[in-house]
Structure formats: C-alpha cells, structure tokens
Amino acid sequence: MPDLDLHVERHPATLRLLVEDKLRAAIVEGRFPPGQRLIERELCELTGVGRTSIREAIRQLEAEGLVTVVPHRGPSVTVITPGEARDLYAVRGLLEGYAGREFARLRPEAEIAALGRDVEGFARAAANADRRALIAAKTALYATLMRGCGNAVVRQMLTTLHNRITLLRLTSMSQPGRLKDSVSEIRTIAAAIVTGDGDAAEASCRLHIARAAVVAIAVLEQQSNVPTQVSRGRHSKTE
C-alpha cells in the first residue's frame, strides 16, 4: 500500500480545547490587555459556548500563568510585575541555554536545515521592518529550537514561558535599535549550533536572553511608575 497521507484532521478534538486556543491567542495577541477582567458570561457570548467549557479552558490558562483567578472575583489577564519579569527571564535564559546546548550536541538533520531557513527568514523580516512577518519568523525560530533540543519537557515549559513573557511585551514594543543586535545574536547562536559547539550555543543563548531582559525590564519599571490600571471600573467596553 502506498503511504497516502490520509490524515483526516482529526476534529480539533473537543470544544474546550478550541476555546482554550482562542482565548490564549486573544491574550497573547493583546486583544485582552493585562489586568482585563474576563467575565464568564461575556466570554460565553463572545464564543458561543456554555459556561462549562469556558470555565475549564480558564483553568488551563490559569495553570499556564496567563490568567490569574482570585476566588469569588473571577479571572483576569495576569499582570506581570518587574520582579516576576526578572524571574521569568532568568528561567528562560536557563532553559534556552540548555536547549541551544542540546541542539548543538544532537544536531538533528532536519532541524538544522530548518534552523538555517528560519534565521534567514528572520533576517529578512528584520530588514523589512515588517512587524507581522517578524513575529512569525521569531515564532518559527523558537519552534525549531525547541524541536531541535529533543526534550519535550523543555519544549513545553519554554512555550508557556514564552507566552507569559509576551504578556509583558504587549504594552511596550521592543525598541527598533534592539532589532539589529537581535539578528546578529541569533546568527551567532545558529552558527554555534551548526558547528556543534555546545558551550558557545548555550552562552550565546543566555546572552541573547539577558540582553532582551535588560530592555524589557527597564521599560516595565519605567511603566510601573505610572500604573495604568486597565479596567478599574466594572465594564471596560472595548467594543
């Protein structure tokens, strides 16, 4: 029998998972800003599903750290403090450094090839200053890194970590000056990986994250002096 690709797209599984994905996307895209309260009934109307599915999806997002639920007050999009940002970046540097090292050690053929493509795609997007393409390229790059390291636990943790960090980058977009540095840093990382230099890969990953952290936390602290409370009132009427 020829190996036909008869994948039937296996229904996105359950409704709950669909809701979960939609909400997660809405949050990381900034359509629900940090601090925004998520009222169950509103979400029911927005999504067209019952409270059951909404509530269970929220639990998942809570576990991922994207939403914060205080009992009897309901869920809201997590607001990240400077201290938490510091902690998040510390762990991210640790894990990405490890991922880089393992990627360099294992050097899986397919992912090495993908890495080259992704880096070039990122460089192109950076040159064109195309925000959408940039985000897509960066996402692809990270996906390759996480596949390449061969550690499912790291992959999952980095994914949620990345989402959480995106939360604090929403309000303040990364500086344009940082972009050129980013490209060169990423080239360095990729070079270390393809040559199989684990130490260099880890070091360059950590350096990359550390620099990103400095910028992000600086902006965040500057912001936190003017605490722009979103949705202080009951309804924020974003429509």
| The entry of DNA, its own copies, none that residue 53 binds, CB within 5 to 8 Å by partner kind | DNA
Among 71, 176, 177, 227, contact with DNA (rule: CB under 7 A): 71
Q: Residue 75's beta-bridge partner residues?
A: 69
Contact flag: residue 22 with DNA (CB under 7 A): no
Closer Cβ to its own copies, 73 or 237, answer by number: 73
Smallest gap, in angstroms, from Cβ of residue 209 to its own copies? 13
Residue 229: both structure tokens together: 């409370």
Q: What are phi and psi of 74, to 5 degrees?
A: 90, 175
Contact flag: residue 40 with its own copies (CB under 8 A): no
Q: Provide the 10 A C-beta neighbour count for residue 76.
A: 19
One-letter amino acid identity for 173?
Answer: M
Among 18, 26, 133, 157, contact with its own copies (rule: CB under 8 A): 157
Contact flag: residue 202 with its own copies (CB under 8 A): no
Cα–Cα distance between 141 and 135 in angstroms, integer? Answer: 10
CB-based contact 199:56 (threshold 8 Å): no
| The entry of DNA, its own copies, none that residue 73 binds, CB within 5 to 8 Å by partner kind | DNA
Instruction: Number of residues interacting with its own copies: please give it, by CB under 8 A.
Output: 27
Q: Where are the alpha helices (DSSP H) in the chain?
A: 15-28, 40-47, 51-64, 82-106, 109-128, 131-148, 152-169, 176-194, 198-224
Closer Cβ to its own copies, 72 or 234, answer by number: 72
* Contact region with DNA (CB under 7 A), list: 28-36, 77-85, 150-158, 226-234: 226-234
For residue 79, give the nearest of 233, 237, 230, 236 by alpha carbon.
Answer: 230
Mark residues 74-93: x for contact with its own copies by CB under 8 A, - for none.
---------xx--xx-xx--
Among 39, 44, 60, 74, contact with its own copies (rule: CB under 8 A): 60
Residues that bind DNA (CB under 7 A): 11, 14-16, 37-41, 49-53, 55-56, 69, 71-75, 232-235
